[in-house]
Structure 1
Amino acid sequence: MSGQRSLRTWLFGRSARLGWLHLVVGGALLMPFHLVGTVVVGPLAGGGNPFLSAAGQLSAFAAVLPLVAVFGLLAPARPLSVATVRSLGLAPARGDGFPEGPARTRAARVRTSGWFTLHLALGGIVSGASLALTPFACVLVALPFVPALRESRYGLPEFAGQPWALALAPVAGVLSMLLLAAVSAAASALLARCAPVLLGPTPADRLAAAERRAADLAVRNRLARELHDSVGHALSAVTLQAGAARKVLDSGRPDDVEFVREALAAIEDTTRRTVGELDAVLGVLRRGEDAPGDRTGPALDSLAGLLARSGVPVTRAGDGDDVLAKVPGPVSREAYRIVQEGLSNALRHGGARPVSLRAAVHGGELEIVLENPLPRRPAPVRPGGGRGLRGMAERAVLLGGHTEAGAHASDGVWRLTARLPLAETTGRDPR
């Protein structure tokens, strides 16, 4: 019983019906080629009118298959074939492994041409059989019951009027339709088996997809670092300044009102600047791409402003602004973020204690050294925190440089050192 149900499903189930419809679409796509072949090649086969000659039709069918193969080499053939397969439910709408775009490489075009030719050839056979065999089967089934059908004007053989022929005619009609269903199901199964092979991604497609995923991840990581460094630094500075202002107010000394005013002004300036940077990063996220216009951001020419509103006293040494302004843009922007994150760490772990910064260009690289006193007691660990050092290291590595960070008990300082090559030919600009 289960075997009969499986056979019935294979012949007439939903997949079989969709497969037949897919083959009919192939036959429809073959029709223009077939008409051209009938007009051009059909007369060469002889037999009179090529549209009424079986030899002419078969010759035209065989002659146009090379033309179909040539058309399948065109780039749009693959998205057309993939869209047809998906729209008829023969493959999931997503996650089926089929490439989205047109065939670009030679191997992809050859494979698409093979699929396109196979689809149209099988579709032409099944469509032609469906058009010709269905009315013929209906005539055979109705032959014993409609005497008018047995007249010679319908072109039926003389034995069609014999009793044994009349008895077998309905059986022959049903069997012919079952045969058509079996041929259609077999052709659909063949196409389903060949689709992943011929329409699936080539090694070049897989490599391109992997590169796109890697680029997307790189953009996401860069935006995460931007948010972490910018917002994290701002919140650390605001927290320290607000805490200092609260302590001054609690002390009740009226002569410290000016200090509170300066702290509130610094908080206002920091939050306004951070909101602007946050809007810029979120704008990139909304567009979903890393457009060239998004490659701007604070750089070393804004270093003086960063140090002034960092929330900690900073002693600066090394090269001046005129030298740092000549640092290439990608290096300058990443260096700014490294200094910003270093100041955030110093503020978070050491409080408002003096920090020394040295930024200098020598030996074809930019060296940044930032030192702050070791904290008297370890700062509490923030849930989900602890990514600052790794983010700085990633920024440096993307430029071909490196960072070092750690406590130096002999000097009583925490030291961050970053070395960034100045050459722009590395091709590693993360922006």
Structure 2
Amino acid sequence: MTLLLGRRARLRWLHLIIGGALLMPYFLVGMVIVGSYSSGPGVFSSPFGQFTAFAYALPMAAVTGLFPLARPLSVAAARSLCGIPAGMLADGPARTRQARVRASGWLTLHVALGGVVSALTLVLPPFAVGVMTLPFVPAARESRTLGLPVVLDKPWILALAPFAGLAMLVALAGCAAAAGALLARRAPVLLGPTPDDRLAAAERRAAGLAVRNRLARELHDSVGHALSAVTLQAGAARRVLDSDPAFVREALEAIEETTRRTVGELDAVLGLLRRGEDDEAPDGPTLDGLDELLARCGIPVEYTVKGDPELVPRAVSREAYRIAQEGLSNALRHGGSGTRAELRITVDEHALELTLDNPLPGHPAAVRPGGGRGLRGITERAVLLGGSARSGPDDDGRWRLCARLPLHHPGQEHR
């Protein structure tokens, strides 16, 4: 009984009745077409005229289903009334030819089944109730009352009449349940995502992941570098707190300056989260600020540059700054304040090459849970610009970071 009159069956029955209501405007137009070439007072009430109008209505409904907005309306109704899980149906208007054809097929099937079930729902229950009352209402036994071909005056017919009427109602519920189940089975096929929809969804997910990865890299490189420098300076100040007040004062000033600048960089990164699609992304630091970074990075750095940095586009300059910042953070984190780094930048007409060397620590570096994101971020930055990056110990007992960034890449922004 649940299959015929349960909550899901009732909702699907309602969905079919809505389909019958949607069919009515097309059916009325079909009746006008039938009446235009048929004559006679009974043309609109004859079964032939109604079936002909029904046949005219379905192609008109199919054309309506080709409009892009037909799919989201059908999807919303199917989700709420047919019990289809949200992940099995497509989102948004039908943009491609294949999606529009599928949506048109669904609307045609919906209104066709809905028209039949709605007609049966309107006609059959009163007739079935009339049949069930035959043994109890003598006037109903006249053939003119129910439109039956014979007069119902035989005792065995009257005895079976209530069961016949009940069977009609059960058959109606069965037809509605079967039609609703058919719609539910066809919904994922006709209203589900097409290959183009899946590709578009995958591209949206990839774009979202790219934004998240960019934010993660920016936060890791800017905030991570600042925290490494602040931690080192605070530790050095603590060790000489009583013996060298002047050094402590300088360390505190450096900590204050580092945190102030980092807050500014953090605001720029968080601005990416607040901006709309049409807003321009905030600029991050570029190679123009590299001298200032080297002055406050916490370790002495020998810096040389060859070529003209003015040739470097802003997108490449921003990524080169972040790569140098992360390389210096690693040198500071693993080597301490006593380490000394060498940074070389070479710019020609094709690419920027960045090399950072620092001595390997005398003891193995501590393994941090979740560590290694900085080196992965360096590689991601280089690859996004069409370049490459590698890092590791060399034969001279030094850690070397090398990155090559093309100055012009088809996919990059030139800002």
TM-score category, normalised to shorter length:
over 0.9
Does the 8 Å contact 1:47/1:53 carry over to 2?
Answer: no
Does the 8 Å contact 1:45/1:55 carry over to 2?
Answer: no
Does the 8 Å contact 1:373/1:414 carry over to 2?
Answer: yes
Following TM superposition, the consecutive aligned residue runs of length 4 or more in structure 1 with deviations greater than 6 angstroms are: none
1:282 matched to which residue of 2? Answer: 270
1:235 matched to which residue of 2? Answer: 227
**Which of these residues, 205, 212, 227, is aligned with residue 213 of structure 1?**
205
Check if 1:309 corresponds to 2:305. no
1:361 matched to which residue of 2? Answer: 347
Check if 1:297 corresponds to 2:284. yes
User: What TM-score does the superposition give when structure 1 sets the normalisation length?
Assistant: 0.89
CA distance in 1, matches of 2:183, 2:373: 51
CA distance in 1, matches of 2:89, 2:143: 54
2:313 matched to which residue of 1? Answer: 328
Q: Report the 3-state secondary structure (helix = DSSP H, G, I; strand = E; otherwise coil) of the residue aligned with 2:107.
A: helix
Q: CA deviation at 1:430?
A: 12
Q: Report the 3-state secondary structure (helix = DSSP H, G, I; strand = E; otherwise coil) of the residue aligned with 2:95.
A: coil
CA distance in 1, matches of 2:43, 2:263: 76
Check if 1:403 corresponds to 2:389. yes
1:224 matched to which residue of 2? Answer: 216
Check if 1:371 corresponds to 2:357. yes
Q: 1:131-150 maps to which residues of 2 (within 5 A)?
A: 131-150=122-141
Q: 1:166-177 maps to which residues of 2 (within 5 A)?
A: 166-177=158-169
CA distance in 1, matches of 2:158, 2:273: 75
Compare 190-199 and 100-109 and name the one that shifted more. Answer: 190-199
Distance 1:170 1:91, change over 3 A: same
2:403 matched to which residue of 1? Answer: 418
Q: CA deviation at 1:393?
A: 1.0
1:382 matched to which residue of 2? Answer: 368
Q: 1:142-161 maps to which residues of 2 (within 5 A)?
A: 142-150=133-141, 154=145, 156-157=147-148, 159-161=151-153
**CA deviation string 1:318-341 (max 9, x = no partner):** 147xx3243112211111110100
CA distance in 1, matches of 2:47, 2:375: 79
Distance 1:300 1:397, change over 3 A: same
1:35 matched to which residue of 2? Answer: 28
Does the 8 Å contact 1:46/1:56 carry over to 2?
Answer: no
Check if 1:84 corresponds to 2:71. no
Does the 8 Å contact 2:143/2:151 carry over to 1?
Answer: no
Does the 8 Å contact 1:331/1:399 carry over to 2?
Answer: yes
CA distance in 1, matches of 2:258, 2:236: 16
CA distance in 2, matches of 1:367, 1:52: 85
**Which of these residues, 199, 212, 216, is aligned with residue 191 of structure 2?**
199
Distance 1:136 1:121, change over 3 A: same
Equivalent residues, number: 413
**Which of these residues, 252, 271, 287, is aligned with residue 259 of structure 2?**
271
Q: Report the 3-state secondary structure (helix = DSSP H, G, I; strand = E; otherwise coil) of the residue aligned with 2:311.
A: coil
The amino acid that maps onto 1:114 is G
Q: 1:43-62 maps to which residues of 2 (within 5 A)?
A: 43-48=36-41, 50-62=43-55
CA distance in 2, matches of 1:238, 1:226: 18
Does the 8 Å contact 2:315/2:412 carry over to 1?
Answer: no
Compare 346-355 and 378-387 and name the one that shifted more. Answer: 378-387
User: What TM-score does the superposition give when structure 2 sets the normalisation length?
Assistant: 0.92
Structure 2 residue ranges without an equivalent (≥5)? none
- Root mean square deviation, CA, Å: 2.3
Q: CA deviation at 1:404?
A: 2.1
Distance 1:198 1:15, change over 3 A: same
Structure 1 residue ranges without an equivalent (≥5)? 1-7
Does the 8 Å contact 2:142/2:151 carry over to 1?
Answer: no
CA distance in 2, matches of 1:343, 1:380: 17
CA distance in 2, matches of 1:345, 1:327: 25
CA distance in 1, matches of 2:35, 2:204: 50
Kindly, what percent of the aligned residue pairs are identical? Answer: 64
1:5 matched to which residue of 2? Answer: none
The amino acid that maps onto 1:260 is V
Does the 8 Å contact 2:382/2:388 carry over to 1?
Answer: yes
CA distance in 1, matches of 2:63, 2:147: 42
